[in-house]
Each structure stands twice: as C-alpha cells, then as structure tokens.
Structure 1
Amino acid sequence: MLHRENSIRQYHTSSAADLIKETMDFYQITQTDLAARLGVSQKNISDILKRKRFINELLALRIETVMGISSQLLLNLDANFKLHQAKENAKNSEPDHQSDKFLKRYDWVSA
C-alpha cells in the first residue's frame, strides 16, 4: 500500500492525514467519495487532510472499516504529531507567568 519510493519521515512529523492522503492518492479516492463512505462532510475531510482538524476515535474506527488502516495507528500518528507541535510551540514562546514556581521541577523528578 505504501509507496517504496517515498522517503520515511520521522514518526512525529507524520500525521494521520499523511497516511490517509497517500492511500487516497494510491487508490484514486476522492474526498467526496471518502466523506460519503465515512458519513462526514467533504469539508471535514479537507480540513483533516490540511491538518486544520484531527480525527477522533469514532472517525478512526470508521476509517479502519472503510480503508483498512488501523485506527490505533491513525490515532497514534495524530497524538505524536500534536505532541511534537506542542513541544515546538513551547520552545518558541515566552512564558507569561509571573510565578517563580512556573515549570520548576519538584526535587524528586529525575526525567
């Protein structure tokens, strides 16, 4: 199903949208057809593919039924992608908290 000529991305830079889009391209599935099969709007599919929206558990299960892609894989891809985004955003933003305790670790924390 996956194109072997595509380079493998690090897990946190891929989202469920990437895997769904690749499958759609390979099987020439339109957004309209997929939306009808999943019971959602074409705009919903478009937003997911553009990463404006992420899939939820119910939609992941529907995609698994319709496309044969593991719902667990889809949800993990999105969770890793969103966590990576949050980490990047946290690095690039200044804390606006005045407390001297903000993000100060407890003594017993070693990680």
Structure 2
Amino acid sequence: MLHRENQIRQYHTSSAADLIKETMEFYHITQTDLAERLGVSQKHISEILQRKRFINEVLALRIEKVMGISSELLLNLDSNFKLRRAKDEEQVNDDKQHQSENFLKRYDWVNMG
C-alpha cells in the first residue's frame, strides 16, 4: 500500500568517470597510459575522473575504441549526471521547490471560446 508520507529514494547517479575508473582498475591502467592511448593529456583524463570536465562525442568514440565501452552509454551517463547535478542546485536555489513566478499560468481574462 502506498503512503504519501513515504519519500521516494534518490539513487546515486553515475557519470562516465565512474565507469572509466572501474575499467581502468580492472585492467590496471594508469591515467598516463589511458591519456596516451586516447591522444589527450594526463591532466585532461584527471579532470574527467574528478568530474571537473566531461567527455564530448569525439572522446567518447575514442574511449569506445580503446576501452570497449559504448560511446552512447558514456555520453548518457554524463548527461544524466549533469542533469541531476543541475536539478540538485536548482532545488537548493528554489528554496525547497517553491513554484517559480515564471511558471506558465493561464490568464483569467483570456477567453478561448
């Protein structure tokens, strides 16, 4: 039975960095080695793994060729992660989800008839 007082759990949203890290650990590959294989700097890889930077389509395709991870999956993970982060920030800024004054409303004086 559903109860309105029950809260919906929010699950951790992974980013591409999480999957890349896991794969690096499995294959015992360093950031430097991965960077060389992908044709980017070690700093670039480090920033991705720290979520200071996110992968783009070109890098996703390179990762797919080198690591065998679907480029679509990587891009979707990062997109969902960034969206979750933005929603969390927006919720804090909206003072616990008070409806914005900019939210669309019908005007009482409009007669559609």
TM bucket (normalised to shorter chain) is 0.7 to 0.9
TM-score, structure 1 as length reference: 0.77
TM-score, structure 2 as length reference: 0.76
Work out whether 1:75 is the aligned partner of 2:75. Answer: yes
Partner of 1:46: 46
- Cα-to-partner distance string for 1:36-90 (whole Å, 9 max, x where unaligned): 0100000000000000000000000000000000000000000000000000000
Partner of 2:89: 89
Shift of 1:94: 4.2
Read off the aligned partner of 2:61 and give its amino acid letter: L
Shift of 1:13: 1.3
Read off the aligned partner of 1:105 and give its amino acid letter: L
SS at match of 1:51: coil
Partner of 2:63: 63
The CA RMSD over aligned residues, in Å, is 1.7
Shift of 1:105: 2.2
Cα distance in 2 between the residues matched to 1:94 and 1:19: 32
**Structure 1: runs of 5 or more not aligned:** 1-9
Shift of 1:92: 0.3
Residue-pair matches, total = 92
SS at match of 1:55: coil
Partner of 1:31: 31
Rg comparison, structure with higher value: 2
Partner of 1:5: none
**Structure 2: runs of 5 or more not aligned:** 1-10, 107-113
Cα distance in 2 between the residues matched to 1:43 and 1:16: 17
Structure 1 stretches of at least 4 aligned residues deviating more than 3 Å after TM superposition: none
